[in-house]
Amino acid sequence: MAGVIEGDDGIVSGINVTPLVDIMLVLLVVFMVTAKLTDANAIPLDLPKAASGGEVQTVFTVTVGADGTLFVDGARIDGDDALRASARAALAKTPELRTVLRASAGASYGSVLHVMDELRESGVQKIAFAADPKAAPQAR
């Protein structure tokens, strides 16, 4: 018996917690299911560790122009062999090398994907894409 009633006008001296426990269990199940679903759609990222004052992070920058020209750390290179050689040399200096791939908005998807494949074949595993932030909408 969840509550005790004394007479017709008596006071309920107990609280029935069964409905509260039922609701909490249902909410727990709902949160567990939705947490799993939202995690499945997340993009896996390799986030950098917090930098200390003495550490300097080396970044290998590859730029793809609108016409397909390639630049490595600001210097123009010709051909896939030069790209692979530059990537291997940078990777030999820094095993935890991070690469930033900058592509012009006019560059074709195929040329960007080709550069990414060449970097992967060279042993580069950490590739990020650079983008300019959008201008904030102005208040009217």
pLDDT in tens, 17-37: 898 999 999 999 988 877 765
Q: Are 74 and 87 in contact (CB under 8 A)?
A: no
Q: What is the DSSP string of 80-133?
A: HHHHHHHHHHHHHH-TT-EEEEEE-TTS-HHHHHHHHHHHHHTT--EEEE--PP
Q: In what order do the strands lie in the sheet with 126-129?
A: 75-77, 70-72, 59-64, 98-103, 126-129
- Between 136 and 85, the higher pLDDT residue: 85
Q: Is the pTM higher than 0.75?
A: no
pLDDT of residue 129: 84
The alpha carbon dihedral of 47, 57, 95, 98 has a sign of positive
pLDDT of residue 40: 46
> For residue 15, what are the CA distances in angstroms to 5, 9, 18, 79, 111?
12, 17, 9, 78, 69
pLDDT of residue 11: 78
pLDDT over 50 (residue 72): yes
Cα angle 43, 58, 125 (rounded to 5 degrees) comes to 40
| Pairwise CA distance, residues 34 & 52, whole Å | 37
- Ordered by start, the domain boundaries in the chain are 1-43, 59-129
**CATH architecture under which domain 59-129 falls:** 2-Layer Sandwich (3.30)
Tell me the percentage of the chain whose pLDDT exceeds 90.
10
pLDDT of residue 39: 47
